[in-house]
A and B are shown apart, each in its own frame.
Chain A
Amino acid sequence: MKELTYVRPTDARDAVARVSDDPHARFLGGGTNLVDHLKLGLLTPDVLVDVSRLPLDEVTRLDDGTLRIGTNVRNSDLAAHPVVRSSYPAVTRALLAGASGQIRNQATTGGNLLQRTRCVYFQDVTTPCNKREPGSGCSAIGGYGRYDAVLGASEACVATHPSDLAVALAALDAVVVVLGRDGERRVPMSDFHRLPGHHPETDTTLAHGELVTSVELPPESALTRASDYRKVRDRASYAFALVSVAAALELDGDVVRDVRIAWGGVAHRPWRAAAAEEALRGETYSEEAVRAAAELELAAAVTGPDNAYKIPMVRNATAYALRGLADRSSERTGATR
């Protein structure tokens, strides 16, 4: 590890100024990803600006019903928050399906969204990787491909985004509040993470020095309350997703009044399945319709022999997640299907 200066900024503005002014400075949150990267030699910053103690650690309901989550709310506290549990269960389920109890106590909301891919080559400095070293090549293409993206990948990078939380936030139309040199800006989750294109070294649309200060969830609704998260992984616990699904479903009798579907483990960013949602909205709910909608969304998928399993897996996981929500909906209304 390279020589390193550690600073505790006085407030968020001070933190932003310190990192914006120095290309070799980085924000430090809970450290569960960044400290690992220091050890692995993936990252060689000169300065760490520790934002984890800034007083951005509250969950507050704004007058219009928006739920504001400070960036320093730890993953465990967000998962256990009574309002999140009852009104945005997909968020609690996604968090509880990730990492371990200890790590969730340490990991912050902003740090979770900005964690980097678990691509095995990205984490191994002895192999070429465009994300780590632009222009060096991609070892995953033609290499170990089991975790590769099936949607939106490029010739430069086929990595997937590892966050569970981000997938739930994408489904629920969350907004990330960001502080930069020129003040605050609000970035919808759908614009927060990027596809790799020619620049896989850049995961998000944030500029260097922009600080996540909070994440906002829209006011709770029938849809947010009927949300869920399903994750498929190699072990029952403490493993990253092979694929995952965040979903929300509002039925009017048998008719889909509204639906949200986002996928994890399939792309360089949480993948909002907008075409599948569109195909289902206003239609009669059935498992066949859900599978057909997933198929439509997956029409553009590109797979190799190692990751072709992800197509039926994400389709089945989507059907499973929505069936669970539909069953609960009919339990509530006494409808039979």
Chain B
Amino acid sequence: MDTSITLTVDGRRHDVVVDTRTTLLDALRERLAVTSAKKGCDHGQCGSCTVLLEGRRHLTCLTLAVAHDGDEIVTAAGVSALEGGAGDDAPTSLHPLQEAFLAHDGLQCGYCTPGQVCSAIGMLDEAKQGHPSHVTDDLEESVDPADLDDDEVRERMSGNLCRCGAYGGIVDAIREVAGGAPREGQPDRPAQPEREAAR
């Protein structure tokens, strides 16, 4: 059955007719040519299709496009326009988190990166709202993004896989933007030479 829906993607409004069975991911990629959301597994297991949906990180492969009529979506191609980003009028510039991914080598092939970036922005927002995680010791203690250590970042980002194994750089990039980036030699993260040697 065909249904007409409206999606706002990276600030642009689209009216599009989709078959009811179309996932949001396929609607973005195949109907709207928004290819920054990537299809990895198509079964909720890799996180590469993550976008910010109504402000929260969300998979697009396990949801139907018709269920999102009227919703606002921001993909990695649109995050620079978000608060904390470079702003609307600088469409070619990057969000600080994207800059940090570059600075810390948080990617290799780049396929998982758009999902990682959206997930990280959503994750930091959750932390700002005080959400605990599986590795948070005291559930009643307040949570602050700057206090997230490597274990916290890894746990909160566990829904995003990276086949290239760029995890070390991804964690560093996120911690830098969170405001609690580890300094070299800090105990919870081996210093660079040690990491090199471990490869």
Which A residues contact B (CB, under 8 angstroms)? 1, 3-6, 28, 30-32, 35-36, 38-39, 48, 50, 52, 76, 79-80, 85-86, 89, 92-93, 96-97, 99-103, 105-106, 236-238
A-B contact pairs, 20 of them (CB 8 A): A3-B1, A3-B20, A5-B20, A28-B64, A31-B67, A35-B62, A36-B43, A79-B131, A85-B139, A96-B132, A100-B160, A101-B123, A101-B156, A102-B57, A102-B159, A103-B44, A103-B62, A103-B159, A105-B58, A237-B134
Contact partner of A96 (CB less than 8 A), chosen from B1, B129, B134, B157, is B134
Given A39-B42, A80-B129, A86-B139, the answer on whether A31 and B62 have CB atoms closer than 8 Å is yes
| B63 touches which of A1, A31, A89, A99 (Cβ 8 Å) | A31
Most chain B Cβ neighbours within 10 Å, of A1, A100, A103: A100
* A6, B66: Cβ atoms closer than 8 Å: yes
* Chain B residues, Cβ within 8 Å of A106: 58-59, 62-63
Q: Evaluate contact between A96 and B133: CB separation under 8 angstroms.
A: yes
CB distance B20 to A4 under 8 Å?
yes
Q: How far is it, in angstroms, between the C-alpha of A39 and the C-alpha of B39 when the chains are bound?
A: 14
Distance from B68 Cβ to chain A, minimum over Cβ atoms (Å): 10
Q: Does B158 contact A (CB under 8 A)?
A: yes
Contacts known (A35-B64, A105-B56); A6 close to B1, Cβ less than 8 A: yes
CA distance A141 to B159 in the complex (A): 32
A residues near B158, Cβ cutoff 8 Å: 100-101, 236-238
- B44 to A28, Cβ gap below 8 A? no
Collect the chain A residues with CB atoms within 8 Å of residue B3's CB: 6
Residues of B within 8 A of A92 (CB): 132, 139
How many Å from the CB of B117 to the closest CB on chain A? 13
Check if B182 is an interface residue, CB within 8 A of chain A. Answer: no
- Point out residues on B near A: beta carbons under 8 Å: 1, 3, 20-21, 23, 42-44, 47, 50, 56-59, 62-64, 66-67, 119, 122-123, 126, 129-134, 136, 139-140, 154-160
> Which secondary structure characterizes the binding site on chain B?
loop
Residue numbers in A under 8 Å from B58 (CB-CB): 102, 105-106
Q: Assess the A102–B119 pair: CB atoms within 8 A.
A: yes
B112 CB to closest chain A CB (Å) equals 13
Asked, given contacts A3-B1, A4-B1, A106-B62, whether A35 binds B23 with beta carbons under 8 Å apart, the answer is yes
A101 B21 Cβ-Cβ under 8 A = no
Contact A237 B154 (CB under 8 A): yes
CB atoms of B126 and A101 under 8 A apart = yes
Taken together as a complex, chains A and B put the C-alpha atoms of A103 and B158 apart, in Å, by 11
Beyond the given pairs A6-B20, A28-B67, 17 more chain A to chain B contacts, judged by CB atoms under 8 angstroms and listed by A's residue number, are A6-B67, A30-B63, A31-B67, A32-B44, A35-B23, A35-B62, A36-B43, A48-B64, A50-B67, A93-B139, A96-B134, A96-B136, A101-B57, A101-B122, A102-B50, A102-B122, A103-B159
Check if B155 sits within 8 Å of A237, measured CB to CB: yes
Give the distance to chain A from B113, nearest Cβ to Cβ, in Å.
16
Q: How near does chain A come to B136, taking the closest CB pair, in angstroms?
A: 8
Contacts of B119 in A (CB 8 A): 101-102
A113 to chain B, nearest CB (A): 18
List chain A residues, Cβ under 8 A from B122.
101-102, 105
Please report the C-alpha to C-alpha distance between residue A38 and residue B63 in the assembled complex, in whole angstroms: 11
User: Which among A4, A38, A101 has the highest number of chain B CB atoms within 10 Å?
Assistant: A101
Please, which residue of chain B has its CB at the minimum distance from the CB of A97?
B134
Contact assessment for A36 and B133 in the assembled complex, using a CB-CB cutoff below 8 Å: no
- In the A-B complex, the 6 residue pairs with the smallest Cβ-Cβ separation, listed nearest first, are A100-B159, A237-B158, A80-B131, A85-B139, A96-B134, A238-B158
B118 nearest CB neighbor, chain A only: A102
Q: Write out the residue numbers on chain B whose beta carbons fall within 8 Å of the beta carbon of A100.
A: 47, 158-160
Contact of B44 among A36, A48, A76, A96 (CB under 8 A): A36
Q: Which residues of A sit under 8 angstroms from B1, Cβ to Cβ?
A: 3-6
- Chain A residues in 8 Å Cβ range of B64: 6, 28, 31, 35, 48
Beta-carbon nearest neighbor of A40 in chain B:
B43
CB A82 to nearest CB in B, in angstroms, measures 8
Residues of chain B with a CB closer than 8 A to A86's CB: 139-140
Chain A residues in 8 Å Cβ range of B133 = 96
User: Whole-angstrom distance between the alpha carbons of A50 and B63 in the complex?
Assistant: 11
Contacts of A80 in B (CB 8 A): 126, 129-132
In the complex, what residue of chain B is closest to A238 when comparing beta carbons? B158
Bound state CA distance, A97 and B21, in angstroms? 31
Chain B residues with Cβ below 8 Å from A238 are 158-159
Rounded to whole angstroms, the CA-CA distance of A35 and B26 in the bound complex is 13
A residues less than 8 Å from B57 (CB atoms) = 101-102, 105
Please, which residues of chain A bring their CB within 8 A of the CB of B62? 31-32, 35-36, 103, 106
Residues of chain A with a CB closer than 8 A to B155's CB:
236-237
What B residues does A89 contact at CB under 8 A? Answer: 139
Complex interface: chain A residues within 8 A of B160 (CB): 100
A114 to B68, CA, bound (A): 22
A236: chain B residues within 8 A (beta carbon): 155, 158
